[in-house]
Amino acid sequence: MGSRRSARLVQRAIALLYVGILVLVPIVVVTWKTFSPGPAAFWDAISSQQAVTAFRLTAEIALASVALNTVFGVGLALLITRYRFPGRRLLSALADLPLSVSPIVVGLALVLVYGPVDGWFGKGLHDAGIDIIFSLPGMILATTFVSFPLVLREVVPVLAEEGIEQEQAARVLGASALQRFLRITLPIIRSALLYGIVLSLARSIGEFGAVLVVSGNVSGENQTQTVPLLVGERVQQLEPGSFQLAFLLILVTVLVIVLVFLRRDRSDRAGAVLADPVLADPGLADAEPGHAATVVTASDNVGLDDAAIDRGGLR
Amino acid sequence: MSIEVNSIVKRFGSFVALDDVDLTVTDGRLTALLGPSGGGKSTLLRIIGGLEQPDAGTVRINGKDATNVPPQRRNVGFVFQHYAAFKHLSVYRNVAFGLEIRKRPKAEIRERVHELLSLVHLDQFADRLPEQLSGGQRQRMALARALAVEPSVLLLDEPFGALDAKVRKELRDWLRRLHDEVHVTTIFVTHDQEEALEVADELVVINQGRIEQVGTPADVYDKPANDFVMGFLGPVTRVAGKLVRPHDLEVLTAETPGATPAEVAGLQRVGFEVRVTLDAAGEEPWAQLTRGQSEALGLAVGQRVWIRVVP
């Protein structure tokens, strides 16, 4: 017993050390570097015109990307799990591609397609007065691309596991497609969707490579520099104020994740009954003392209460 | 509310699930679709409910062509084998679902839901989540939910299939009593011949996409249309090339005119019955006796006996 216990302690220590070196130490260093120059430096770093614009850009891009990923992620998840059609597996594999392609490559590909000078569509769009590359649409496109699978991959397993029966039951009970989605499907995927949105949001806020390529990293007038790009610039130019911005980025992401984990925790506890083997299995539940009583009551009633069944009510 | 199914054909790829099926279900009856797995009975039920589209043929509900009416406008009740409970809604909200969709006044919904919950003996569980109920309770909730919208027909797809034997038996009796009170035209699918014989007013035996026989349980049991129906509805054994029920095979210890000589090859006791395996002219029929009958005859392995089929 003693040796197994100490083995477990060693395992725990190794895991803690690993996560500590990998995650905790950098965060602590960033936090320390953020506040050691004092509050005035902090305020200067985040309140410059350039920083404020970068925050606005990052927020706009993140919100747009998350909105697109939510709508299309859920739509595609429904398509993949609910219908059988030729090319379904290919579509599913393609949807995973953004996770395995380097963001820089994504950015370059977008420039090749939408670039204003020699892009495939870019030239025509540029002539029509629409600029994708070096402006907001391209940055949203790049960010949406790299974070696309995050919502999809959270939602697909839940939909696949729950199956289609609840929706069919709702349909027979008279629910329209929209009513079925809002009243049945959405509650089923709610917690997975929320988690996917958070991952997608965190990824969008922090995206560097793809956005760097398509934005041109322009500062000053027509700024296309987002917060991560500004952090990168300040680090490279050995300018002050990079840690303060990085700290805020980390803070926002961590806050969102913590908030959602708290929610998830609560709904998990509510759903714990589901995971309880005794209650989840009808056979065992019937044998379990507390439940046996209710079952017996019900079946006794079946025998005794026929007269009590209301005839008028069901016709 | 009668249901008429005409010339229904349904294929899944090259597999023919239903092959030109005609069926009329009488108003107010409790009808069982009985047959082996993969025989097409669930597909037929789902076509009646609108959850599958037939490749050919028509479905008429209450005289009106419903073939192309989507399920949400057929006004049927459907009960699934695995309950299809709305997991995120309380028992009350589950039962109220169809009424809420129909935008009935709140007070009316409350009254009707409580009425139904007491009908299925779940009134004290109104605020629970489905996960907090046993399987049998969940299926009763599903039944109340289906009945709430006053369906013109109630369709049950292997409703007791996921329950253990004891709960299954209870619910079966309970469904029979419920139907006697509620009288809604009901069709239920089962592969359990005992369940069908016990509960149904009318049996429809389906095999390999075709209807083998339709009739009352007694009719179908006593006068099976063919060997398949006979074999599916109960145990059978072969004597002189003919299928008979083992309980219709009489074992005699003295030579009797019209009886065939045989030798007792084995005796097996199963609960209250004794299965007597026989060796008769190259055939190996078996007879089903009660323990009392077997003891009165004093049967032993190797003994010479005479057998005949009770008319």
Cross-chain Cβ contact A298/B71 below 8 Å: no
Nearest to B74 by CA among A175, A169, A174, A180: A174
**Chain B within 8 Å of A267 (Cβ-Cβ)?**
no
Tell how strand B202-207 and strand B30-34 pair up.
Answer: parallel
**Rounded CA gap, B98 and A169, in Å?**
10
Range of the domain at A95: 39-308
pLDDT digits (tens, 9 = 90+) for B92-129: 999 999 999 999 999 999 999 999 999 899 999 999 99
DSSP annotation string for A41-92: HHHHHHHSHHHHHHHHHHHHHHHHHHHHHHHHHHHHHHHHHH---TTHHHHH
Q: CA B295 to CA B91: how far, in whole Å?
A: 54
Distance CA B162, CA A21 (A): 51
**Partner B contacted by A187 (CB < 8 A):** yes
Residues A67, A187 within the same domain: yes
Dist. CA B73–CA B76, nearest whole Å: 8
Residue A12 and residue A99 share a domain: no
- Whether residues A116 and A172 share a domain: the answer is yes
Identify whether A315 is part of a domain.
Answer: no
DSSP symbols for B197-230 = HHH-SEEEEEETTEEEEEE-HHHHHHS-SSHHHH
Comparison of pLDDT for B81 and A129, the residue scoring more: B81
Sequence-distant (≥ 6) Cβ neighbours of residue B213 within 8 angstroms? B203, B204, B205, B220, B224, B225, B226, B229
Q: How far is B145 from chain A (nearest CA, A)?
A: 8
CATH number reported for the structural domain that contains residue A201 in this entry:
1.10.3720.10
From A174, A273, A302, residue closest to B98, measured CB to CB:
A174
Do both A26 and A158 map to the same domain?
no
Q: How many CB pairs under 8 A join A and B?
A: 139
Q: Quick one: A13 and A134 in the same domain?
A: no
Compute the nearest-CA separation of B183 from chain A (Å). Answer: 8
Closest C-alpha to A160, from A96, A82, A75: A82
pLDDT the model gives residue A265: 64
Strand order in the sheet with B30-34: B76-79, B153-157, B186-190, B30-34, B202-207, B210-215
What is chain B's pLDDT, residue by residue, as a tens digit (311 residues)? 689 999 999 999 899 999 999 999 988 899 999 999 889 999 999 999 999 999 999 999 988 999 999 999 999 999 999 999 999 999 999 999 999 999 999 999 999 999 999 989 999 999 999 999 999 999 999 999 999 999 989 999 999 888 888 888 888 888 898 898 888 999 999 999 999 999 999 999 999 999 999 999 999 999 999 999 999 998 999 988 888 899 999 999 888 888 888 999 999 988 889 999 999 888 889 999 998 888 888 888 988 999 988 87
Closest CA to B82 of B124, B42, B33: B42
Residue A302 to residue B73, Cβ atoms within 8 A = no
- Residue A73 to chain B, least CA–CA distance (Å): 22
Question: DSSP string of A222-267?
Answer: T----HHHHHHHHHHTT-S-HHHHHHHHHHHHHHHHHHHHHHHHHH
- What SS3 class is residue A204? helix
| B184 Cβ neighbours under 8 A, 6+ residues apart | A314, B28, B77, B147, B151, B152, B153, B154
Look at A43-57, A265-279, B51-65, B158-172 and tell me which has the smallest mean pLDDT: A265-279
Q: From edge to edge, which strands make up the β-sheet containing B64-65?
A: B15-25, B3-12, B56-61, B64-65
Report the share of chain A in percent with pLDDT over 90. Answer: 54
Q: Is it the case that residue A200 has pLDDT exceeding 90?
A: yes
Query: What is the number of domains present in chain A?
Result: 2
Nearest to B142 by CA among A270, A159, A165, A290: A165
Backbone angles phi, psi at B59, to 5 degrees: -120, 125
CA distance A314 to chain B (A): 6
Q: Which tokens hold the place of B27?
A: 């108003």
Q: Are residues A87 and A138 in the same domain?
A: yes
pLDDT band for position A288 (cuts 50, 70, 90): very low
* Chain A CB contacts of B170 below 8 Å: 299, 302
Task: Indicate whether A27 and A128 sit together in one domain.
Answer: no
Q: Which residues of A touch B182 (CB under 8 A)?
A: 314-315
Residue A292 identity (one-letter amino acid): A
Range with the lowest mean pLDDT among A162-176, A300-314, B123-137? Answer: A300-314
* A178 within domain boundaries: yes
d(CA B195, CA B212): 18
Confidence at residue A293, expressed as pLDDT on a 0 to 100 scale: 36
Distance, in Å, from the CA atom of B259 to the CA atom of B310, rounded to the nearest integer, reads 10
Per-residue pLDDT for A279 more than 60? no
Q: Residues A257-261: contacts with CB within 8 Å, 24+ apart?
A: A257/A198, A257/A202, A260/A194, A260/A195, A260/A198
Q: What are the residue ranges of helices labelled H in chain B?
A: 41-49, 91-101, 106-119, 135-148, 165-182, 193-199, 217-222, 227-233, 291-297
Buried/exposed A263-290: b ≥16 CB within 10 Å, e otherwise: ebeeeeeebeeeeeeebeebbbbbeeee
Closest partner CB to B135 (pick from A271, A282, A299): A282
B108, B110, B131: best to mutate for the A interface, most A CBs within 10 A: B131
Q: Residue A211: inside a domain, yes or no?
A: yes
Q: Closest Cα to residue B109, out of B149, B142, B139, B81? A: B149
Q: Is the torsion defined by CA of B211, B212, B218, B219 positive or negative?
A: positive
Q: How far apart, in whole angstroms, are the C-alpha atoms of residue A293 and residue A296? A: 5
Residues in Cβ contact with A120 at an 8 Å cutoff, skipping those fewer than 6 apart = A112, A113, A114
* Cβ pair B145:A173 closer than 8 A: yes
List the single residue in B with minimal CA-CA distance to A308: B119
Do the chains contact at B78 and A271, CB–CB below 8 Å? Answer: no
A11 and A96 in a single domain? The answer is no
Give the angle subtended at the CA of B163 by the CAs of A305 and B194, to the nearest 5°: 80
Q: Do A298 and B149 touch (CB under 8 A)?
A: no
**Is A314 a residue whose pLDDT tops 50?**
no
A314·B182 Cβ contact <8 A: yes
At A296 the pLDDT is 35
For residues A54 and A25, state if they share a domain: no
A294 and A209 both lie in a single domain = yes
Q: Tell me if B57 sits within 8 A of B44, measured CB to CB.
A: no
Which percentage of chain B shows pLDDT scores above 70?
Answer: 100
Tens-digit pLDDT profile for residues A173-188: 999 999 999 999 999 9
Categorize the per-residue pLDDT at A128 as very low, low, confident or very high, splitting at 50, 70 and 90. confident
Residue A313 lies in a domain: no
The pLDDT value recorded for residue B294 is 87
Residue A48 covered by a domain: yes
> Which residues lie below 8 Å from residue B178, measured CB to CB, with a gap of 6+?
A309, B119, B120, B143
Task: Count Cα neighbours of B128 within 13 Å in the Cβ-side half-sphere.
Answer: 17
**pLDDT of A268:** 55
Tokens of A312: 């008028």
> CB–CB of A282 and B167 under 8 A?
yes
Question: Residue for token digits 């027979």?
Answer: A172
Nearest to A291 among B70, B134, B138 (CB): B134
pTM over 0.90: no
pLDDT tier, A308 (very low <50, low <70, confident <90, very high otherwise): very low
B285 vs A302, residue with greater confidence: B285
Whole-complex ipTM:
0.86
Same domain, A212 and A298: yes
Average pLDDT, integer, range A39-63: 93
> In this structure, is residue A259 part of a structural domain?
yes
Among the partner residues A172, A286, A295, nearest to B76 by beta-carbon distance: A172
For residue B128, the model assigns a pLDDT of 95
Residue B271's pLDDT is 87
Q: Measured between CB atoms, which of B138, B164, B181 is closest to A309?
A: B181
The SS3 assignment for B59 reads strand
Q: Which residues of A touch B108 (CB under 8 A)?
A: none
The closest CB to that of A165, out of B80, B121, B140, belongs to: B80
Q: Which of A84, A181, A314 to mutate to test the interface with B (most CBs of B within 10 A)?
A: A314
The dihedral of CA B77, B78, B82, B88: what is its sign? Answer: negative
Per-residue pLDDT band for A132 (boundaries 50, 70, 90) equals confident
Q: Are residues A71 and A217 both part of a single domain? A: yes
Q: Evaluate whether residue A314 is within a structural domain.
A: no
Task: Nearest chain B residue to A177 by CA: give it.
Answer: B72
